[in-house]
Structure formats: C-alpha cells, structure tokens
Structure 1
Amino acid sequence: MSVFQDSGFEHQFLDSRLRQGSYRVDPTVSKPNIVFITVDMISPDCYFTSRPLAQVIQTPNIDAISAEGTSFCRTYTTSPLCGPARAAMFTGMHPPYLTNGERALCGSQVDLQVDDVIFQDYLKAEGYILKHAGKCHVGVDKFIRTFGENVHAWDRWGPPVVDDDRYLDYLDHLNVQPPRYRRELVGLRTDKQTPANSFGGWIEQTDGADFPKEAHYSAFLADLTIRQIKAARRQEPGRPFFAQLDFFDPHQPYSIPSGFEKRYEEIKSAITLPASYTELQANNILPDNPIYALYRKYWGMYDEDTVIDYIAAHLLQVEVVDYAVGRLVDYLKSEGLWDDCVVVFSADHGDMNGRLGMADKGVYFQPDIFAIPLYIKAAKHTMPVMKKIETVCSALDIAPTLLAAAGIEKPAHMEGSNLLKVASGGEKEPMVQVFQTGMHVGMNFGAAIRLEMSGKEWFYGYNASTGYQELYDVDADEQVNLFYEAVGLAMRPELIRKMAEVLSTDVRWRGYWASFRLHNMEYLPDDTGADMQMLKPA
C-alpha cells in the first residue's frame, strides 16, 4: 500500500499494517522475471581467463549467461564460509556471524533471524512469487518466513541426497537407484597411509550400474526449479516470479556421474601440480602459519595422484553443474522467457583446489577463497551493456542489483551498489569492504582489505588470533605471502596505515582494531594520550 510519492518514487512498507520496513519503488519500472543461480565453492581456476585450466573446462551454458550479459571480473565475497557468505549476499550487509552452524561454539549465532531483512523480502512485497530450490544454510526459519511453507531449502553444509523425498521420487521416475561411490578419493592422516577425510569421487547406482547425469542431484535441482517456475506461472500468471537455485556443487565431496569419462582424461592430462604444493612436498614441511599447518593436517593431501584427481574432479563437477544450468536455460528459452528475464550467476566463495596442499576453503586469507564469479544478464530492453568490467565488486552488490531490476531503490542499510548502472557505464558507489574469517576447522578471527598500491591489486589480511599477517598479489596464479618478504617490508608502513583507517573508523571492526594496534604499534602514530583499553569509566 502506497503512503506518498516523492520524486517519482512511491514509499512502501514491508509490513504496511505496522508501518515497518520502509522502502521506495519506481512504479514506472516494469518488473521482469528473475532467476538467481549460485554454486557452492568454485575455484578461480574455472573462470579466471588468465588461469590455464580455464581454457580446459567446458561450461557453455554458464558462459551463455556471461556472453549475453556482463562479467564482473573482480568480485569478492565477504567471508570464505558458506553461511556467513550467504547471509551477506542476501542481506546486502557484512555478515552478522562468522561461522557455519556445524562447528560453531555454544552461544555463537549461526543463522539469520526471522526479523532480519533479506532482499527477497522486498521482491515479495512488490508482488513477486518467490521460489527456491537447494541449499540455503542461513536458517530455514528465515527462508520459510520469506519464501513460504512450500520452500525447498535445506540448511546443512552437504546435500540431503538420501533423505530428500522429492529426489528419491525423481530417481524412481527415471528408474535409477540411489548413488554410491564407484571410486572414492580420500586424504591421509599424518602417517601418510591411514585414510582420513573423503573428497568424494565417481558414483554409480547401488546395483553397480552406471549413474546417468540426468539423475544427478544437481540435475534434479534444475528440474525442480523448472517445475517451480511452471507452478508460479499457473498460480498467478500476471505476477512476475523470482526463482533462486542454490547448487551444492562443486563443493566436495564430489559425485561425478557417468558420461564424463572422456572429459576426465582430457582434464587430467592438462593438470600440473600447484607449485606451492610441490614445494611443501619436496621440503616435507608444514606451512609457517599455525592455521595453515592445521588445515594441511586436516586435508591430508600427501599423495600427488590424489591432488591431481581432486583438481580434475573439481572441474568435472563444475561441468556437471553446467549441464544442469543448461536444462534451466533451455527451458527459459523454449518458453520465450529468456530475453526478458534477469539472470544472475554467482557463488558463495572459492576453493583452494590443491594449492598449499589444501582443498575446500578455510579461515585464512588466500584470495582464491574470497574470489567469486559474477555474471549478470539483464532483460533485453535494458541493453546495451558493457561485456566485461574490471571494477572491484562485492557479493554485497547482488542484493541492490536485483532490487534495482525490479525498480526498488537500494534500502539505506544495504552496503553494495546497483551493478546494472555500472554495466551501463555508470560509476560504482564507493564502499569499504572488509573480509573476515572466524570459526571452521580451526578458530582464527581476522580481517582483511583489498587495496591498490604500486600499480597492483593487493589483498592484505590480519589474523587477530595470532598476529600473523598476509599480503598477496591478487593477479598471481600462485598466492605467496609477501608480507614478510622485501616487497612487503617496503609496503608495510602504508599497508598498516590503511588498515588502521578502516578498523578504527567503524565500530563493527573494533574487535580487530584492539589487537591490530598492539601488534603493529611501531608503525602507528605514538598517541601517548590514547587509552589502549578503548573505554574509560566516566
């Protein structure tokens, strides 16, 4: 219900009865259908064009979204962990918590609260029919409140393959039995012999028959999304739909179906071991940072063939996702929905993909686990747009961008920018993005910033738990910590000054500032009158 108009915008409320959740919308903007697709944990090896493996992987359907839209080539998430990264993406703000629920300490917040506002709430208020399939990992209570009782949102780190009723019914219709591993990859304990963590691998049916790719869980999620869109069009044909599809893949443990055997051989032949892995193996050492040493033990990637297979499996799993995305894209095109539909493809965070002898992600500051792809295909009538944008962007930009597509002005609390404007040649709003770690396999709280110095883009991280600091050349394929090297020593005063500006001027980062100023006191001004306790009783 409109309250009043101002400069062409109508003022609305998420809750009109209580006059709560004020926002503004341009009533002249037609509301396109929106499809929002995310993958879970994808290595930049798969989409950084400078990486050799990006020339090997085949993702024609994901590439189609990029080709018909805009690629934002320097995009980062705020956290390398699933739950916090998704919370930031949906709220448009830095995350309210820094751990996934599975490993959180008692008393830690791990979910969005039902009264937290996510961008989907605004779309719902503006008449969109909301649909969701796949992983949410921010608390199902919030998703049920926003998407409705029929939402298919599971709140765990791994997919509910064996206890998803709809998936089992899907397999029955295909006359396919549930999957089991035909060949499984495992890490090793420190004795380098005893099996430890599973990385997944290649799957077959429980009777040993080949497992068809059309029966894969990712294909099921794409099929479910198609059925949800069909339902939305039948339920209320005059209303636009917002369909969100959150894949678990290519997160390990991998589950590669039949039909990719030839691709496996082609990809494997193109892989060389990461230099950082080879160096660790040759010297038989653990990384010098305690948190890296901990993760190195956790993953147990002591066998070179396993590392190569892990990298190959990661790329293959992305190709499985691409196959599933293709089913959805084909449906949208066959129904005449593609041209005027806004389609966004992104990810929650990155993957180490064998670098430093590690898989997955962690609570440390390697740029590869903060980098994410971001492709935005606008509705046809908004063209033309720029094809590639090197401006640094954030997962925090996704929420205001999708709202802008529906004519909704960015709410005041959101921190990102409308990237549709940037894609049309406009300037991106300035934003200070802080990257944070927290609790995962280990506990390591810290903050990082991205900055440009000496003609390069740098990623500078401070680990509050240990005082260890990290500095990386973002454009390097192999990320080597340069903070303690000659280049880092030369840059250190300026790095510390810039970090101090960020941490000391926002109350949210006060916890990092408290120890950062002590660890780096010799590089900061000698404020003899400063109270190091930061608080003083009156």
Structure 2
Amino acid sequence: MKQERPNILMIVADQHRWDCLGASGHPFLQTPHLDSLAASGVMFTHAFTSSPICGPARNSLLHGVWPCRHLSIANADTEASRPALPLPSFPEQLRAAGYKLSFIGKWLGKNARTPEDYGFADTVPESAYGAWRREQGLPPRPGGMPFFGVDEGITPEQSRLHWGADQVIERLERYRGGGEPFLLRWDPSEPHLPNVVPQPYADMYPPAMIPPWPSFGDSFAGKPYIQAQQLRSWGLDGWTWERWAPLVGRYLGELSLLDHEVGRVLSALSACGLAENTVVIYTCDHGDMCGAHGMIDKHYVMYEDVVRVPLLIRWPGVTPTGRRCDDFVLQTLDLARTLCEIAGAPVPAEFQGESLLPALSGQGGNGREDVLSMYHGNQFGLYSQRMLREREWKYVWNGTAEDELYHLPSDPGELRNLARQAEQRETLARLRRRLHEWMVAVGDPLNNQWVRRQLLENCKW
C-alpha cells in the first residue's frame, strides 16, 4: 500500500551539459539509465539555471530565490557565509512536514551553512571518500592541473561515484521497511573537472570519434574581451581540436560512469520495493564549456553550454511516460517550490519559482515565453551579467562590456554577436525592455538609474 506522500530521490550532478545525454540527441554518448529515466517520466528540454556557477545555483535550489536575493553571488569559499539573511528552504519545509532527510556528496563550500543546518539528520560528506580510499590502500585521487586524465590504479568499483552510489543504496535498504517518507539527496561532484576517470571509461570515447562543438574556433570578434582572455588565463590559447578531443573524451567517459552508478541506484530503488512511491529527480547546477568556444569550466559567459541543464522527473502514477516538455523552466527556483508541493508542505511566500506540477501531470504548461539567468563577477573582479533567453533570441547584458545578441535558429553555436547591427536595433531595444521587466519582478538590486538608462533608453553600445 502506498504512503499518502511520496518519497523523493534527488540526484544533483555538477556541470552536466544539457546536450550530453542520449535522450537529448547526443549521437554516441552512452547514458542508457538516464535515457530510461527520461523515457519513464518527463524530460524538460528547456531548463535553465538561475546562475551558471555552483554556489549561487545550489543556494537558489535550497532557498527558492534568485542569487540577488539570497546573496550567495559567488562560490562560497570566496564569500562570507551565505545566505546572509534568514531565508526559508525547501529541506526545512519538508522536515517540518515529517520527512526524514539524508544528504550525500558535495555541499556548498567551506563557508556555507551545513546540511545539518537545513534539517538533514543523516549526512555523508564527499570528503569521506578520501578517508575510505586511504583505508583501502589506494593512492590519492588525482586533483588540480592537469584537469583531465586517468585515475590510475583503481577500478570503476573503487571510484568516488561508485562509493557515493553505495552510500545511497545503503540508505535505500534502510528505508525499505517504510515509516515516514524520505528525501534522499545525492550530489556527486562529477562531471565537474578535474575529470580523472578510471579505465575503461577513461578511453571509452577515442578522440577520433569526437567532432568539434559547433562553437569551436570562435574568433570572439565583437565580443567582450574577457572571453578571449579566458583562454589565455587557462593556458588554452591556440589549442587545436586535436588537443581538446581527448579531454572531451574524459568528460564523456565520466558521464557514462555516472550514468552506470545512477542505474545501480535506480535498480536498488526497485529491489527495495520503493520505486512505485518515489519521485526521482535528476538534474545539475549548471553546464560546462568543455572545449566549446575553446573554453574550459564556466565563468564570464552565458552560452547554452553553461546555462542550460538536464532535468528529468519520474513520479509513478502522475507523470506520463516519455513526455518531453518544452516549457521554459527556471530549474532551481521551480524545483524548490515543486518539492514542497509534492511533499504537501507549505510553500514559503518568499519562493520565486513556479510550480512544475501541471507540466508533470501533462495538464498544461507554465506559459513562460522567456527566462532569466544572472552572473556576478566579483569572484574574478569582473562585471555582472544578466541573460534573457527567448525561443529565437538571446540577449546578454554585460555591465561594463559589449552586450551580446544571438539569433539561435540561424546561429546555434552563438558565434555571431548581432548587438551592434543596425537592423537589429528594434530587437535589441525590445529585449532590453523585457530584461528590465524581469529585473523589477525578481527584485534585482542592479535595477538602478544607470542600468535603467542602458536598458530603457538604449544608452549603451
């Protein structure tokens, strides 16, 4: 007999590109378990992060508000403790509603509030893997530069991903007896660099089979200076695809290993008799450049590679099988609200997202015609950015640099910045006005008289 309220199994990966899934149409990447999850539930094809950087995005997921509201505007180890203000969170709402909470994996950073502060009574930090590895007599996991390589001397069963999946499975076995509903959240660090991968996954995708990203070879003509500087800062200037392809192969191999471990977790969920009353969510905080535009990691940019994310949700008895939802989703904000609704917990008035329940049940969409994403450059002494994304157009406001305008149907790689083309002045002005509307709606403190002049009076190149 089902519990009245479902369990929730939530997997939040780190830097998983939206297009790196078989279900997203990748031509050869093997992700059969995530593809199966997509086929058995709802796949949101246009989910976007609130901010393409770890700490801000993850805090938005916890608190259901924009980074400019929770004030975690850079990664936690470069900031004071955030959020600075007392804000409600979805885990605390679920705990108050009678859910037992477990957290495994990567948290926000060394200056952040802890999982226990949010009501997670059972936690396993990812740092515990290092101690386990030492106990097994294994060499330390490679880290730092170079950022891509092989984790020599271990098998996939000794990898951090396998260890993390084991922690999840152990808790599923513990929960099989029933009782109060649970929220079990696993946040693996993968596929965030350094992508050091055990064999055979390290060489699963030979360089010869990996074509360049559509954006590779960007000249950065008419774009902000910092984009070309990113290559120089990381020592990537002048890299050919022959140098990049083996590294992209490591990233893809790590994704296939992640998929395998997700498959183990989903099999255990079924074996424990929990699958029919458990909502399964797979997503990530943001994407990864991984050679797109010749860049690495994230930062400084609002390209699809980093702002668009995978979002898969299965709720047996509620979600239609194999539904692809093309609604614009503000993934971190919308999930925080929706998780409260799934659990029957009150939704805090502060939450800024919209419910995904109509989309999950196939009863309708959210009506959004565009989405916002934001980036604050203080971590690198850089300007702030705001992105407005429509179906056909993307506009990026760069505080003290050239703005960007891309026509996505004709330029999916976002190579041609049209912001200064005379024939696009009306489009640019319209998108600037709409961005200002978003900034007003979300309470963005950058909505000051100087920014308003740029956006409403077009006082900007």
Q: TM-score per shorter chain, which class?
A: 0.7 to 0.9
Partner of 1:221: 164
Partner of 2:139: 178
The alignment-based identity, stated in percent, is 26
- C-alpha separation in 1, matches of 2:264 and 2:160: 13
Does 2:96 correspond to 1:125? yes
Partner of 1:501: 437
Shift of 1:131: 0.4
Superposed, 1:239-278 pairs within 5 Å as: 239-260=180-201, 263-265=204-206, 268-274=207-213, 276-278=215-217
Shift of 1:36: 0.3
1:466-521 CA-partner distances (Å, limit 9, x unpaired): 14211234455412233234664452222222223333x34722424433334456
Does 2:77 correspond to 1:102? yes
- C-alpha separation in 2, matches of 1:62 and 1:315: 14
| Change in 2 beyond 3 A, CA 1:342/1:498 | same
**Which of the numbers 360, 365, 371 marks the counterpart of 1:423?**
360
- C-alpha separation in 1, matches of 2:312 and 2:289: 21
Superposed, 1:135-146 pairs within 5 Å as: 135-137=106-108, 141-146=113-118
**Counterpart of 2:171 in structure 1: which amino acid?**
Q
Partner of 1:323: 260
Does 2:29 correspond to 1:38? no
Q: Which has the larger radius of gyration?
A: 1
Give TM-score, length-normalised by structure 2: 0.88
8 Å contact 1:286–1:296 — kept in the other structure? no
| SS of the residue 2:37 aligns to | helix
Q: Which runs of 5+ in 2 are unaligned?
A: none
| SS of the residue 1:78 aligns to | coil
| SS of the residue 2:93 aligns to | helix
| SS of the residue 2:33 aligns to | helix
**Counterpart of 2:104 in structure 1: which amino acid?**
A
Does 2:418 correspond to 1:444? no
| Change in 2 beyond 3 A, CA 1:278/1:310 | same
Say which is worse superposed, 140-149 or 492-501, in terms of deviation: 140-149
- C-alpha separation in 2, matches of 1:79 and 1:276: 21
8 Å contact 1:43–1:369 — kept in the other structure? yes
Partner of 2:150: 202
Q: How many residues align?
A: 447
**Counterpart of 2:406 in structure 1: which amino acid?**
Y
- C-alpha separation in 2, matches of 1:485 and 1:492: 9
- C-alpha separation in 1, matches of 2:3 and 2:352: 23
Partner of 1:529: none
Q: Which runs of 5+ in 1 are unaligned?
A: 1-27, 155-159, 187-196, 206-210, 525-538
**Counterpart of 1:511 in structure 2: which amino acid?**
L
- C-alpha separation in 1, matches of 2:437 and 2:85: 34
Partner of 1:290: 225
| Change in 2 beyond 3 A, CA 1:124/1:271 | same
- C-alpha separation in 2, matches of 1:449 and 1:482: 15
- C-alpha separation in 2, matches of 1:72 and 1:507: 23
| Change in 2 beyond 3 A, CA 1:61/1:508 | same
Superposed, 1:16-415 pairs within 5 Å as: 30-47=4-21, 54-95=26-67, 96=70, 97-104=72-79, 109-112=80-83, 115-137=86-108, 141-148=113-120, 150-153=122-125, 160=127, 164=128, 167-169=130-132, 172=135, 175=136, 177-180=138-141, 197-205=145-153, 211-233=154-176, 237-260=178-201, 263-265=204-206, 268-274=207-213, 276-280=215-219, 288-301=223-236, 302-304=238-240, 305-378=242-315, 380-384=316-320, 387-395=323-331, 396-415=333-352
Say which is worse superposed, 424-433 or 402-411, in terms of deviation: 424-433
| Change in 2 beyond 3 A, CA 1:389/1:363 | same
| SS of the residue 2:51 aligns to | coil
Give TM-score, length-normalised by structure 1: 0.76
Shift of 1:386: 6.4
| Change in 2 beyond 3 A, CA 1:506/1:514 | farther
| SS of the residue 2:10 aligns to | strand
Structure with more relative contact order (C-alpha pairs < 8 Å, separation 6 or more): 2
- C-alpha separation in 2, matches of 1:85 and 1:496: 24
